[in-house]
Structure 1
Amino acid sequence: MNDRPALADRPPLRADSRSFRESREGEWRRLEAILTTAEKRSVRALSDEDLLALPILYRGALSSLSVARETSLDLELVHYLEGLSARAYFFVYGVRTTAGSRLASFFARDWPVAVRSLWKETLAALLLTIIGLATGFMLVEADPRWFEGFVPSELAGGRDFSASAEYLRSTLYHDGGADGLSVFATYLFTHNSQVCIFSFALGFMFGVPTAMLIVYNGAILGAMFSLFNSHGLGFELGGWLIIHGSTEFFAIVLAGAAGLKIGWAVVFPGEETRMAAAARAGRISGVAMGGVVVMLLVAGLLEGFGRQLITDDLARYAIGGGMLAFWLLYFYVPRRQDITHDG
């Protein structure tokens, strides 16, 4: 008669709080110890005995929680059992994934889904970029003195209206360290990376700084095109830029879209508080920005190797256009798991 009944078969207790605790507290403590070990280390660290006891102790905790609620025992005990049951549920029924599977899920679904959810903001950021590019191009075409107002001297690096067509052409095809476009490319990549970061980070300021950064970045590009176009090298500059720019500038547009998403949520929070709306938008934008970092790394590789190894204009356009097509297909073509999830 000394054998204790199984936890699942034990009848509900109708005692006061003290006797209830005394009768089951040992089992709760054991369950808590098992969960602590699993959380700090892993499930593999548990012994076979603990693994077998875990689901039984979990059901016992649920039973205790039900009794505690029905008999109106002290609120502190109810909260303790709720937390204990929630922790145990994860290890009994939860899906535990490895870092590799989470990373695969990010690239397979999370990132493209986040980007697609920003499609309105992406179009807005693209429009702002085009406006900036057209403005910079037209102003410099009308008056070359605007060039210095748009393009910093560090970025220009001697490529201005005082340079000859031969010199500008040589910088597009000759890898001559500081004498070529290496310095320009490095500065441009650093500049664009900073634009991405600040476009996202400053989105909470109603999106205004984000919009200004996007327009200004487009104006720099337009001014550079005006310079090279005035020497009959607009097509050649486009080939030099597109090989990595189709990825790099796409990343800037997405970063701007992420910032605009947050800014829009702050301006129009709906029924939520501004902080809650911004936090919700930030979760989506944060996923998109995680992918933007990847795009900038890809752009850096394309710029570092493709620009130096490939000097044919048509080949440069083909690679840049191919990368643009890849990103568009990757982000905007629905996947089977997305359809299943949405359905």
Structure 2
Amino acid sequence: MTDPAAQRAIETAALKSDRFRLEREADWIRLEEIITKMEKGKRRRLSDEDVLALPTLYRTLLSSLSIARESSLDAGLIDYLEGLALRSYFLVYGTQTSFGQWLRGFFGGGWSEAVRAIKLDIWIAFFVMIAGTLIGYLLVAGDSDWYYALVPGNFADVRVPGASEAALRGTLFSKEEHDGLGVFAAYLFSNNAQVSILAFALGFAFAIPSILLLIHNMALLGAMLWVFAQRDLTLEFVGWLSIHGTTELFAILLAGAAGIHVGRSIAFPGAKSHLKAASDAGKRAALVMAGVIIMLICAGLLEGFARQLINDTGLRYLVGGGMLAFWLIYFFLFGRNHLEAES
């Protein structure tokens, strides 16, 4: 049998909750209708009165939620108010931009701005990549057996130490659709895409894995460069590589720099906490990486079509040099009217 006093307490609480709901429910319903329209992308259907009332309705909701918690009203009502408050918060204080607006901002200066914000890390990654290329070149120059340790075995056919000039030249200017060097180019693209992602993802470990990845990846290129240099085909090999390589290697450079930026920010947070420094650097580096993916797609298209169609070294340099000039202008000259990202 239920205790009469307890029963009266339950009835009183229920009555209090019902009265509380009736007094404020109209505002909650109106706020929920506004929020629902905004979530569905129907902001233009909102009246001026609704737009102006949104902040007031939101503050009223927070007041109701506070009273409901203090008065220990029914849990269902509190859950409803908390859910509505959370939805409202993101729409009242969140960034109200559509995907199209974000995309315009990204290409209109946001991406280049983020790249300029990590220029120190770009220089670090640049010198690391140069060092990696020299390491690969010098190792093979000192002992040709290093070539087989650096270059995957399935590419060790005619492109090996001691190969004749005619054989090497044939791989650079072959018109066959699936020539051996083309397979090697596809391997480089796949490998470089993986290196780009890993160089960024592993940056949190104080950037050490990112640096080692850049060195190892460029050592492979240095080893291959030595093979062609021995037959005075350096210009031809670099021209062949430049068609897609200026974009592809630039993407690796930015990915490595993004990873180094995160690692450096964690190791040397300055006046910020380690968590805050890592968060800020991660946001900036993630924006750079979004662009790196686009660059890798462009490099893949250049590798798949332009490299197959252009067999003249001068034209190869023209295409590769043009792409390099485009990226340099975009990253370091375009969008300077935008505010620089926080360092």
Q: Matched residue pairs, number? A: 323
Q: Work out whether residues 113 and 341 of structure 2, in 8 Å CA contact, stay in contact via their aligned partners in 1.
A: no
Judged with a 3 Å threshold, the aligned counterparts in structure 2 of structure 1 residues 75 and 201 are, in CA distance, closer, same or farther, namely farther
Shift of 1:276: 3.3
- Work out the percentage of aligned pairs sharing the same amino acid: 40
Structure 2 CA distance for aligned equivalents of residues 51 and 151 of structure 1: 66
Shift of 1:211: 0.4
Amino acid at match of 1:55: L
Q: Aligned runs of 1:267-286 on 2, under 5 Å?
A: 267-286=267-286
> Is 1:184 aligned to 2:184, yes or no?
yes
Shift of 1:60: 4.9
Shift of 1:280: 1.8
Q: Aligned runs of 1:183-202 on 2, under 5 Å?
A: 183-202=183-202
Structure 2 CA distance for aligned equivalents of residues 282 and 132 of structure 1: 26
Structure 1 CA distance for aligned equivalents of residues 238 and 306 of structure 2: 14
User: What residue is the counterpart of 1:213 in the other structure?
Assistant: 213
Judged with a 3 Å threshold, the aligned counterparts in structure 2 of structure 1 residues 21 and 183 are, in CA distance, closer, same or farther, namely same
Q: Work out whether residues 175 and 181 of structure 1, in 8 Å CA contact, stay in contact via their aligned partners in 2.
A: no
Structure 1 CA distance for aligned equivalents of residues 72 and 260 of structure 2: 44
Judged with a 3 Å threshold, the aligned counterparts in structure 2 of structure 1 residues 68 and 307 are, in CA distance, closer, same or farther, namely closer
Q: Work out whether residues 113 and 335 of structure 2, in 8 Å CA contact, stay in contact via their aligned partners in 1.
A: no
Amino acid at match of 1:267: A
Q: Work out whether residues 31 and 54 of structure 1, in 8 Å CA contact, stay in contact via their aligned partners in 2.
A: no
Structure 2 CA distance for aligned equivalents of residues 126 and 82 of structure 1: 50
Post-superposition CA distance 1:215-247 (Å, at most 9, x none)? 112211111111001011111001000111111
Structure 2 CA distance for aligned equivalents of residues 164 and 150 of structure 1: 21
Structure 2 CA distance for aligned equivalents of residues 104 and 112 of structure 1: 12
Judged with a 3 Å threshold, the aligned counterparts in structure 2 of structure 1 residues 329 and 131 are, in CA distance, closer, same or farther, namely same
Judged with a 3 Å threshold, the aligned counterparts in structure 2 of structure 1 residues 53 and 155 are, in CA distance, closer, same or farther, namely same
Q: Work out whether residues 35 and 91 of structure 2, in 8 Å CA contact, stay in contact via their aligned partners in 1.
A: no
Amino acid at match of 1:195: V
Structure 1 CA distance for aligned equivalents of residues 139 and 133 of structure 2: 10
Structure 2 CA distance for aligned equivalents of residues 59 and 109 of structure 1: 35
Unaligned runs of 5+ in 1: 1-16
Post-superposition CA distance 1:154-189 (Å, at most 9, x none)? 344541124322111111111324543121111111
Judged with a 3 Å threshold, the aligned counterparts in structure 2 of structure 1 residues 198 and 307 are, in CA distance, closer, same or farther, namely same
User: What residue is the counterpart of 1:149 in the other structure?
Assistant: 149
User: What residue is the counterpart of 1:29 in the other structure?
Assistant: 28
Q: Quick check: 74-83 or 303-312, which moved more?
A: 74-83
Q: Aligned runs of 1:1-343 on 2, under 5 Å?
A: 21=20, 24-43=23-42, 52-53=49-50, 55-56=52-53, 58-62=55-59, 74=70, 96-335=96-335, 337-338=337-338
Secondary structure at the counterpart of residue 335 of structure 1:
coil
Post-superposition CA distance 1:185-232 (Å, at most 9, x none)? 111111111110110111111111100111112211111111001011
TM superposition score normalised by structure 1: 0.81
Unaligned runs of 5+ in 2: 1-15
Structure 2 CA distance for aligned equivalents of residues 38 and 60 of structure 1: 15
CA RMSD of the aligned region, Å? 3.4
Amino acid at match of 1:200: F
Judged with a 3 Å threshold, the aligned counterparts in structure 2 of structure 1 residues 157 and 285 are, in CA distance, closer, same or farther, namely farther
Judged with a 3 Å threshold, the aligned counterparts in structure 2 of structure 1 residues 301 and 313 are, in CA distance, closer, same or farther, namely same
TM superposition score normalised by structure 2: 0.81
Q: Work out whether residues 240 and 307 of structure 2, in 8 Å CA contact, stay in contact via their aligned partners in 1.
A: yes
Q: Quick check: 54-63 or 227-236, which moved more?
A: 54-63
Structure 1 CA distance for aligned equivalents of residues 72 and 338 of structure 2: 42
Q: Which has the higher contact order (CA 8 A, sep 6+)?
A: 2
Secondary structure at the counterpart of residue 338 of structure 2:
helix
Amino acid at match of 1:236: E
Structure 2 CA distance for aligned equivalents of residues 313 and 66 of structure 1: 72
Shift of 1:326: 0.7
Shift of 1:132: 1.0
Secondary structure at the counterpart of residue 181 of structure 1:
helix
